[in-house]
Structure 1
């Protein structure tokens, strides 16, 4: 056993030396190979690599995956109208130049996040300060996103970072102006409602007046037609009466007298004070009727 112990120790030392000379670069990482404190090589492809044992060479790994920065608290940004908005955003970014990134931030990803957040804040101020609330909330939202992404990407490129995407997740009013905004919106809605009511009332009056005019026209036309027909009927009746009188005047006079009797004695308790010799009783005296 004592004879194999030195060999076992040597084998362990050899394995330890070999393991210190080999390193693996995962798919999700970059690797920076340092020689005596200086970056000698940047490895971007995954695999098994050889190096000299420490302290001659050592390896630092940097995450190459897409990363996200989410604001923990909404940023307070002022618009061109001097109104404060609370804007919540997030950024997607990745390391594109491992050497430049390490020179700027070392292996501290927190420092990179802080620097990018400061740049995002500056870009938000530059884009929001020149716009109104309406533009920020609706019409210019996409343009603001593009401006912020372009500005942050330009400033992050010298740091070895690529800004892939910037999004504004939420835009809210600050509490001190929310109430005034709601009141203004309420007033605008009331004004619009009153305008619609006034317009409806005007349309109602116009429709009613138009209906009344057409009614009067229809009634006038109907009355004219009825009068024309009544006149035609009266003319026809007069013609018939005239023709009948011409054929037998005596019978016509007798018939008209019957109509007069019927009209005079139609009511109950009718009383007439007339001379017996009057024309009204002409056909009541048979003797006289026969003499005539």
Structure 2
């Protein structure tokens, strides 16, 4: 075989290889949860997020780096696989602000929002995120009391960890955004301490229950007292109005009597005297006599009237 023919075969083989490489490296596909960065001679160019078939320059001119677009989870202090949870005590051991030891682990929901920065601003962005999570959690637990960490303060701790972790991610600028932080377990170091703390927690809950019951009873009694006060006030207002009306009526009667008195003083005075005697002595018989100072004239009208009444009744029976 001649040298020229050998060169021709080699050239054809190289051309075939180049053509094959170009054919298989000039396109790529993206799924619904993927995003890609196009690298031209190692330099980041475009970010592609639209799913489907895409074309590019063949290798080695352009390469594609695919990254997840969906939300991812970072498990700090534990690892869960196939329903089994493995804890890492050394990582989760922390000291609270009141100098108590607790074990705390959490999960961080995060997302790649800038693929270029994620690829080139850090050699291992997941490790940076893990270390920043550890620092944020330890800082927050270190400024919190053990009661808050174990009971009602978990939500506030989660918010503080998320705020601090977000600020660190913005500072490191590695293309990661923090979506949520959730504390999984916050525990005391041994059974004796947990038992003592449980007893204290139960006592505190009992105290709160009693205080709520006392407050409820206080509100009930206050409402009853308020109702009684309102009833007394309404009754007093009613009596006040009644007495005012009675007083107005007495004034009107007095004014009317006064007008009569001005026109006939003697007659009015005698009538008032008789009416007063009838009110003071309702069962007494009253006689009016004219005494001129010498002889008292008395005519017993009442006894005569009583004698006449039986006679009239007898006559009515005889007629029958």
SS at match of 2:151: helix
**2-side partners of 1:188 and 1:156: how far apart?**
37
Check 1:189–1:156 CA distance in 2 against 1; reply closer, same or farther (3 A cut): closer
User: What is the deviation of 1:102?
Assistant: 0.4
Aligned mates of 1:47, 1:186 — CA distance in 2: 60
Deviations 1:230-253 (A, max 9, x none): xxxxxxxxxxxxxxxxxxxxxxxx
Shift of 1:143: 0.8
Deviations 1:50-104 (A, max 9, x none): 2211111111111112111113225111111211100121111110000010012
> Of residues 170, 174, 181 in structure 2, which corresponds to 1:166?
181
> Partner of 1:182 in structure 2?
195
Question: Paired residue for 2:150, among 108, 124, 137?
Answer: 137
3-state DSSP of counterpart to 2:59 = coil
User: Which ranges of 4 or more aligned residues in structure 1 deviate by more than 3 Å?
Assistant: 8-16, 183-190
Note the residue ranges of structure 1 that are not aligned, 5 or more in a row.
1-7, 197-292
Report the secondary structure of 1:159's partner residue.
coil
Matched, 1:35 2:52: no
1:82 equivalenced with 2:99 (yes/no): yes
CA contact (8 A) 1:77 1:124 kept: no
2: CA distance, partners of 1:18 / 1:185: 68
The CA distance in 2 between the partners of 1:16 and 1:163, in whole Å, is: 40
* Partner of residue 103 from structure 1, selected from 92, 99, 120: 120
Unpaired runs of 5+ residues, structure 2, are 1-11, 79-87, 211-320
Instruction: Please report how far the alpha carbon of residue 184 of structure 1 lies from its aligned counterpart in structure 2 after TM superposition.
Output: 6.4
Task: Write the mapping of 1:156-235 to structure 2, written as runs, cut at 5 A.
Answer: 156-157=169-170, 158-175=173-190, 178-180=191-193, 182-183=195-196, 186=199
Counterpart residue number, 2:165: 152
- State the Cα RMSD in Å: 3.2
**Contact conserved, 1:78 with 1:84, CA < 8 A, in 2?**
yes
TM-score w.r.t. length of structure 2: 0.50
Count of residue pairs the alignment pairs up? 183
Residues 52 and 86 of structure 1: CA distance in aligned 2, closer, same or farther (over 3 Å): same
- After superposition, residues 243-254 of structure 1 pair within 5 angstroms as none
The answer as to whether partners of 1:65 and 1:94 remain within 8 angstroms in 2 is yes
Query: Is 1:117 the counterpart of 2:127 in the alignment?
Result: no
| CA displacement, residues 162-207 of structure 1 (integer Å, 9 cap, x when unaligned) | 11111111110012xx4245346558979x89xx9xxxxxxxxxxx
**Preserved contact between residue 31 and residue 43 of structure 1 (Cα < 8 Å):** yes
Contact 2:96 2:142 in 1 (8 A): yes
2:26 is aligned with 1:21: yes
Any idea what SS the aligned residue of 1:169 has? Answer: strand
The change in CA–CA distance for 1:15 and 1:83 in structure 2 (over 3 A counts) is: same
With structure 1 as the length reference, what TM-score do the two structures score?
0.55
> Is 2:107–2:184's contact at 8 Å kept on the other side of the alignment?
yes
Matched residues in 2 for 1:11 and 1:188: separation?
77
For the structure 1 residues 39 and 120, does the alpha-carbon distance in structure 2 shift closer, same or farther, using more than 3 Å as the test?
A: same
